[in-house]
Structure 1
Amino acid sequence: MKAPATTVEQILLDAQATLKARDWDRLTRLARMLQRNRQWEAAEHCLQQVLAQVPGHHEAQLALADHFMIGGRADEARQLIEAALAARPGDPLLLMAFARACSSMGEIEDALAALDLAESKPGPWQARAGRLFALNLAYLPDVSAEDLRDCGTEWEKRYAPVASPRPVLPARRPGRWRIGYYSPDFCRHSVAHFLPGIFERHDRDAFEIHLYSDTPLRDEITARYRQLAEHWHELTDLPDAEAVATLRAGELDLLVDCSGFFGACRPQLFSQRPARVQAHFLGYNGTTGLRSLDYRFTDAICEPPGTEAASSEKLVRLEPGFHCYRPLTDAPEPGPLPSATNGYVTFGSFNNLPKVNDEVVALCVDVLQSLPDSRLLIKAISLTNPASRQLLVKRFEALGIDPGRIDALPPSPGQQEHLETYDRVDITLDTFPCNGTTTTLESLWMGVPVLTLPGQRHSARVSASLLSQVGLQACVVNDPTGFVETAKRLARDEQLRADWRNSLRQRIRNAPLGDPGQFVPRLEAAYRQIIRASES
């Protein structure tokens, strides 16, 4: 058997030779390797060659659908998988790929139906289908925190039952507290706006920091995480049993999950109880429902006193909040108010399309109708292709909004350009019941206020927490009528918005929300508290 290629150059040479040899299975495997090395054009070329010769090549179809999804081309992924399903109706892997595309385009009901069907078909894919179902369920407006908790708990019972009796771990070593962080997203991902600053400021005299990476797509941010880790552990290619053994070998006082059900996560690793205490911090949009996680970090606005029963984990409330934000790049300074130049107000939404449900669209329409000269700018990775942008605009047109008032933008080529787009926005309109988190903070960092309508569960209250920490309680509105009236008032108060544009960045810097020096000691005190509680 031919030795596997290891460098990008070797993979490319091997792919050329494999194409000439017409070994389509091997060429598909090499395309996957090129994807992992972020050689997108070469990977797509290989996969298109395979499908040109073998149109029904199952693995190549899945790999090309993944490729389209990574590039924000969800509509192309959906078309590809729909054609594949016509030839293989009910194929569970194709159904899951179809669900991913639907979800990315905001078609959550279709995604859930496909995942439910995939999970009903016996096989090793069931756990992943069930996990994706639990993840997508959160996007539905009428789903409660209790519903999400129960869905996660049921998934755990089926696919990752918690070890019983609890494994006996070695006696704790004397010395520093041993903290492990687990994530499949130690890369250019939203959590990179939060975790690196925390890792930089950890008290290394008191804490020994281990990072456990399940990250399939590595980049320059991955390299930065490796620099910040006292101990770096690669789990990506390890089977579950070996990954659990690696976690257990760390003799961790606390293992912190930073993913929940997102990405390429493996929540089943926690069910084997590899650490003394296990908790969730960041990365997910509320309770996981996993009994293997003892604690979850939150705050009193996201989950007020009295909501504890809706969570499977014990709540650890960090005050005034549980986020500590830092932009990935040196952000440009906020620009002047666009309304001062344009003569009209521009509202904005930069959240992913699954969050832009029909209720969100309807409320945005009410705001636009209350200010006939205003416009709305929407930007999302799923708007890469013109066809996707047209579909979004038609949702507003169907409710009476002139298409010329909606600007649907594709993703920017880089983070700097992305942040500069906020210079075109006067007021950001938040989504619900899944608020923005990174996008809310980006908006505030660029001096743009965010108007939010808080709900009952964690994901619907995150922006309220963030806004309260920078003194923008006036932007937290408890009913749709008040939301529209507040949007009108802010649109007309150009001086107030100018003051905010000039002050919001410094407000973030002055608060624990933007200052790891204030935030990390509070987090570490909470770590000590829950570790000691487990010893008593």
Structure 2
Amino acid sequence: MYRACLDLDPEYPNALNNLAVVFKETGRLDEAITCYERALARTTEPVAVYNNLSLAYFQARNPTRAQQVCREALALFPSATDSWFNLGNAFVARMDRRTGARYLTRAARLSPDYFPALVNLADALKGQGLGEEAIQAARRAAEVRPGALEPYVNWADALREHGRITEAIPVYAQALANQPTHAPAHSNLLLSLNYADGRSGLENLKAHRYWGQVHADPLTPDAPGHANIPDPDRVLRIGFVSADFRTHSVGYFLRPILESLDPSLFQIYCYSTGTNDDSITEYFKRAASVWRPVARHSDEQLAALILEDRIDILVDVAGHTGGNRLLTFARKPAPVQVSWLGYPNTTGIKAMDYRLTDAVADPYGMTDDFHTEALVRLPSGFLCYQPVSEIPTEVNALPALEKGFVTFGSFNNLSKVTPAVTALWAEVLNTVPNSKLLLKGLVFADPQTRQFYTDLFTQHGVDPDRLILLSRIDAADGHFRAYHQVDIGLDPFPYNGTTTTCEALWMGVPVVTLLGTIHAGRVGASLLHQVGLGHLIARDRDAYVALCAGLARDLPALAVLRRTMRARLNASPLRDEAGQARAMGVAFRDMWRAWCRGRTEATTSPPS
């Protein structure tokens, strides 16, 4: 119909605009953009066309041109709410959340009930660490649409990221009550449970298994129809699915394994579901036998591609963290599926066969019943750390020797620094005279968050002058140089640090950890065992305080430990990239042989 109109008048603006909409909805973005550009020349309703054109550029991943189109519209129509909204989104897409939030705020002021602007504003503020402002925007969006999902997710995320876990959990529950089948929001709730103090492994298993029953298990075929050849000794295709083949916490542990797996035994397929590639991504591309950029693939499309690639063992490194593809794994595209690295708990889905761990993080017979997967324990630890070689930062002398007081520190995200954690850390400060505590996190850009944490410590008798609260440090090496101010690292609980513990040790800072009863609370112990520092593992909270005080009393020994720490790491299993890759390769081969045995038995068993 639209083409018939254009046959009569090739520049008829309404037909061009409507045809462009069709093109955009079918993914033909270049043709859509051309039609919108032509429609602008003659339309009597340019605001709508400008908005459609900017959205088309945005969808085509050209936020710069989308910004230009929005500015052209606003020069003519400065009160065009949609143009301010689209302009804000374009800046956020370019990771300029501050500017984006300014324009989204303008849209919300022009139209106070403009729901999409309020939702996106909350997200942009949250991304800057401005938690209280994000919460206010999210709450306003919830007032506009109380039955919607998005406001409650943003609201709960902001609470969680600021350590307010007990407040976040019921807000997540409200989000799910509004939209019970929304798997990502449900994953966010599960993630938050890992931070909550006092939960048992069986409680967590029940919550994760319910996620699987609602979202994943109905997608799992009874007979997947894998065409993989059941030869136990052939070269295997190992697929890794991740959004974090880049500068990211997951990348520091994933990269050394991919670079060290024996290419004569394994072909590496990387399925990159992320869009934020950087210089580190190139290392992953070189390590891969096959690189698949699949950010635009649906879960179903990705599963079909993996099945077509005949992947033998498929590895998930996200669990229930953001952007996960568990609904791809639910479709069972590979004969053997493994969870590892990025999430400290079970996935809860029946299609996941194994979980890689070790005997410290998951002692035999202690945590097996908390997982839907079979636990496979690597002999020397389930983690292998590769420091950021692109940012060389040397270990400095013990700062306490110069300053005359001990500085404790934690660079963990504030989700882990809950009121229960601050209470114990306050006891450490009260036990070690004149000591200080340095906390670093993006959320300390928010004055109200700084006050919230200051108040938590003052409630336990800690003077605010003893707290050093650092926000983001822009310099490339600034994050690591901040460790030059720290003498002793403090590990949070019940969700221990992982990357932050490795970074602290790499910078010469010993870390004291409290041993938990489930995986999330035992990762610190696993890491310290790997580097021969098991004496820094506390069995209870009193022992945690005593360990910290003991380290602080013996500064000469602490100085020696700092000076020798990097050599200690380099000589440990934590840095043995080849050894850890061999151990993982053995585990993969054992998993594969088990599948081959099962396949052979299934095909040779007589009919019942």
Q: Output aligned runs, 1:144-155, within 5 Å.
A: 144-155=200-211
Q: Report if aligned partners of 1:318, 1:522 keep a CA contact under 8 Å in 2.
A: yes
Structure 1's 18 and 177: CA in aligned 2 closer, same or farther, altered over 3 A? farther
1:176-224 deviations in whole A, cap 9, x for unaligned?
3101101122333211211112222222222111111221444333344
Distance in 2 of aligned mates of 1:31 and 1:534: 51
**Are 2:95 and 1:38 aligned?**
yes
- Structure 2 counterpart of 1:516, which letter? E
Distance in 1 of aligned mates of 2:146 and 2:165: 20
Structure 1's 176 and 485: CA in aligned 2 closer, same or farther, altered over 3 A? same
Q: Which moved more, 1:155-164 or 1:22-31?
A: 22-31
Q: Which moved more, 1:333-342 or 1:210-219?
A: 210-219
Distance in 1 of aligned mates of 2:468 and 2:185: 35
Helix, strand or coil for the counterpart of 2:538?
coil
Distance in 2 of aligned mates of 1:166 and 1:69: 44
Partner of 1:257: 316
* 1:78 CA drift (Å): 1.1
1:313-340 deviations in whole A, cap 9, x for unaligned?
1111112101111122333111111110
1:7-66 deviations in whole A, cap 9, x for unaligned?
343233223234345664466456445433334455334423322322322222222222
- Structure 1 counterpart of 2:253, which letter? F
Q: Percent same amino acid among aligned pairs?
A: 34
- The normalised TM-score by structure 2 is 0.84
Distance in 2 of aligned mates of 1:266 and 1:423: 38
Partner of 2:263: 204
Q: Output aligned runs, 1:21-420, within 5 Å.
A: 24-25=81-82, 28-29=85-86, 31-122=88-179, 126-161=182-217, 162-172=219-229, 176-307=235-366, 308-328=368-388, 329-420=390-481
Partner of 2:519: 458
Helix, strand or coil for the counterpart of 1:91?
coil
Distance in 2 of aligned mates of 1:350 and 1:216: 26
CA RMSD of aligned residues (A): 2.0
Distance in 2 of aligned mates of 1:87 and 1:448: 49
Partner of 1:425: 486
Q: Report if aligned partners of 1:8, 1:37 keep a CA contact under 8 Å in 2.
A: yes
Q: Report if aligned partners of 1:256, 1:281 keep a CA contact under 8 Å in 2.
A: yes
Q: Which moved more, 1:176-185 or 1:249-258?
A: 176-185
Q: Report if aligned partners of 2:173, 2:189 keep a CA contact under 8 Å in 1.
A: yes
Unaligned runs of 5+ in 1: none
Q: Which has the higher contact order (CA 8 A, sep 6+)?
A: 1
Distance in 1 of aligned mates of 2:93 and 2:288: 22
Helix, strand or coil for the counterpart of 1:287?
coil
Unaligned runs of 5+ in 2: 1-19, 21-31, 34-55, 598-608
Distance in 1 of aligned mates of 2:208 and 2:357: 18
Q: Report if aligned partners of 2:71, 2:87 keep a CA contact under 8 Å in 1.
A: no
Partner of 2:580: 519
Distance in 2 of aligned mates of 1:203 and 1:361: 45
- Structure 2 counterpart of 1:139, which letter? Y
Partner of 1:17: 72
1:95-117 deviations in whole A, cap 9, x for unaligned?
11111111111111221111111
**Are 2:546 and 1:485 aligned?**
yes
- Structure 1 counterpart of 2:403, which letter? N
Partner of 1:471: 532
Q: Which moved more, 1:39-48 or 1:248-257?
A: 39-48
Distance in 1 of aligned mates of 2:197 and 2:444: 22
Q: Report if aligned partners of 1:201, 1:517 keep a CA contact under 8 Å in 2.
A: yes
Q: Which moved more, 1:97-106 or 1:196-205?
A: 196-205
- Structure 2 counterpart of 1:458, which letter? H
Distance in 1 of aligned mates of 2:495 and 2:562: 25
* 1:504 CA drift (Å): 1.3
* 1:226 CA drift (Å): 3.0
- The normalised TM-score by structure 1 is 0.95
Distance in 1 of aligned mates of 2:180 and 2:68: 36
